[in-house]
Amino acid sequence: MTNIRSFVNNPYQENTYLLYDESGECAIIDPGMETAAEQNKVVNFIKEHNLKPVLLLNTHCHIDHVLGNKFIFDQYGLKPQFNKGEQELLEAVIAYAPAMGIRYEQSPTPDIYLPETGTIKFGNTELTLIFAPGHSPAHLCFYAKEANILVGGDVLFRNSIGRTDLPGGNFTQLVDNIEQKLFTLPDDCTVYPGHGPETTIEYEKQNNPFLT
């Protein structure tokens, strides 16, 4: 069975996720670690559970979700994987990071870009790719069907949705993607967002002020 562990990182309180299963292999999603303390928490968890990181995934490439890409590469030799439509966003980070007062070490460039649809595997876990732009130009969500969990990035939050006022954002597109792609997942699917607490598809269908 696929397990999930979250770590809250950086000034934006971004959720970094580790997915792992009984094989011992794990995927690191949206590493936002900025400080040594934040880095140590993730590394220690991996050590304590004897995990082997085999995938580094980014839902999208805003600074708060890619801050730790270089650290994970240095630590485990993993290059990030994301949809090619996010590459321009990643390249922009190095220029705007100083203005935000954030120390950013440049992320490696992917060897492999993720398609808009399909699956990726690690250990005994299969993740379905869900292409849901609107917050960013080529945002992906990762759905583990067997565990019925969605790592959703900045698409859908508890009682909210991703902001659409950044470059490549589009409110209508975001809402359409949530309603047509995320709301077709099972009602009891647990959504683990890029910020804030987890939620469920059913709760958001019934309560999200942007979507009701």
**212 located within any domain:** no
73-124 pLDDT per residue, tens: 999 999 999 999 999 999 999 999 999 999 999 999 999 999 999 999 999 9
Number of structural domains, the chain?
A: 1
Cα→Cα distances 61→44, 46, 169, Å: 25, 24, 13
The pLDDT score that the predictor gives to residue 167 is 87
Distance between CA 75 and CA 137 in Å, rounded?
A: 29
The pLDDT score that the predictor gives to residue 174 is 98
Confidence of residue 18 (pLDDT cuts 50, 70, 90): very high
42-59 pLDDT per residue, tens: 999 999 999 999 999 999
Residue 172 pLDDT > 80, yes or no? yes
Region 199-206: what's the mean pLDDT? 98
Question: What stretches of the chain adopt beta strand conformation (E)?
Answer: 3-9, 14-20, 25-29, 52-57, 80-81, 119-122, 125-131, 140-144, 149-153, 156-157, 160-161, 190-193, 199-200
Residue 212 pLDDT > 80, yes or no? no
138-154 pLDDT per residue, tens: 999 999 999 999 999 99
Confidence of residue 198 (pLDDT cuts 50, 70, 90): very high
Distance between CA 92 and CA 17 in Å, rounded?
A: 24
Distance between CA 34 and CA 41 in Å, rounded?
A: 11
| pTM of the predicted model over 0.85 | yes
Distance between CA 149 and CA 185 in Å, rounded?
A: 10
> What share of the chain has pLDDT > 70, as a percent?
100
Residue 203 pLDDT > 90, yes or no? yes
The pLDDT score that the predictor gives to residue 29 is 99
**84 located within any domain:** yes
Least Cα distance to 193 among 53, 40, 32, 56 occurs for 32
Could you list the residue range(s) of the whole structural domain that residue 133 is in? 3-207
CATH of the domain at 91: 3.60.15.10
**115 located within any domain:** yes
Residue 157 pLDDT > 80, yes or no? yes
